[in-house]
Amino acid sequence: MDVNALAALAMIGSAMAHSVMTLFTKQAKDTLVFRAVTIVLCVPVCLPLAIILPFPEWEVWRFLLLGAAIIWAFNMFLIAAFQRGEMNLVYPVMRGAAPAMAGLFAFFFLDETLSLIAIIGLATASGAIVAFAWPEKNGVPKAAALGFALSAAVMTAGYTVVDASGVRAAGDPILYAVWFFLLSAVTMWVTAIARRGRRIVTAALQELPGSAKSMVFNLATYTLALYAYSVAPVAPMAALRETSIVFGAILAALVLKEPFGLRRGVLALILAGGLALLQLG
């Protein structure tokens, strides 16, 4: 199979895993503790690999440290957005604005270029995904929820390019993913302890069952995405990952009983067309 086709399949798998992980996050009672426990549960999987694999060089560490800071900020914005709005409102904006930003960042920092067809596809896909968030029945979007969702999108675009650069410097998606999860476990757990204090143990035990399921999808979505970024251009892969919006909308409708509707079904088709143009370009 062609490398680009394999990367595209990996990124679609990453999108599906991301939507399931996000559903679990939305269902959590304490979103901060849930995210912290989810990441910490990745440590037993990653630590043996960290011992076996070569220690990353400084060229890789500077991306790991920057990426860990950005993903921490993303998690904070994600948590704040989910506390203020429905998944079908904030998730499309959170993921939808990121591909265009990632494409611009990749153009400026990774010297990647896009054809006119790809640019049209990228704009179409990004516009369709953002349009998912516009509420039905003449409702008014929650400004705070969308503000945090847009902030999360900025962080997504940032860590997309940083991680793509880092995994290429590392030359091994597994090596980069292992240290990413170990660093993220520290930052998220310290944040949870600082915010929850003595209640952290009780809250962590309460969120443990859901976090254990979410951990599997967390590992899958990130590792598959890193592989795709290591062998294919960032902008098309970032756009493909945002098909998680479609999967997320379906899950939100089926599990959370949030509205999907005909309009969002049409938008899903427009999104698919935009992604097809992006791949063609």
Give the residue extent of every domain in the chain. 3-280
Answer whether residue 259 shows pLDDT above 80. no
- Going by pLDDT thresholds of 50, 70 and 90, the confidence category of residue 264 is low
Cα distance between residue 162 and residue 238, in whole Å: 12
Task: Give the tens place of pLDDT for each residue, 89-124.
Answer: 788 778 777 766 666 666 777 677 777 887 888 788
Predicted pLDDT at 179: 96
The CA–CA distances, whole Å, from 158 to 63, 105, 208 equal 11, 8, 30
The residue-averaged pLDDT of 168-182 equals: 93
Whether the predicted pLDDT of 281 surpasses 70: no
pLDDT higher than 90, residue 125? no
pLDDT at 104: 66
pLDDT of residue 60 exceeding 80, the answer is: yes
Per-residue buried b or exposed e for 244-256, using 16+ beta carbons within 10 Å of the residue's own CB: bbbbbbebbbeee
The CA distance from 14 to 11, in Å, is 5
- Cα 234 from Cα 98, distance rounded (Å): 12
Highest mean pLDDT among 78-92, 141-155, 215-229: 215-229
Q: What is the rounded average pLDDT for all residues in the chain?
A: 84
Task: Give the pLDDT mean for 162-190.
Answer: 93
Position 139 pLDDT exceeds 60: no
The rounded Cα 121 to chain-centroid distance in angstroms is: 20
CA dihedral (201, 203, 206, 210) positive or negative: negative
Tokens of 149: 């969702």
Is residue 135 scored above 70 in pLDDT? Answer: no
Percent pLDDT > 90 in the chain is 42
Contact 11, 224 (CB under 8 A): yes
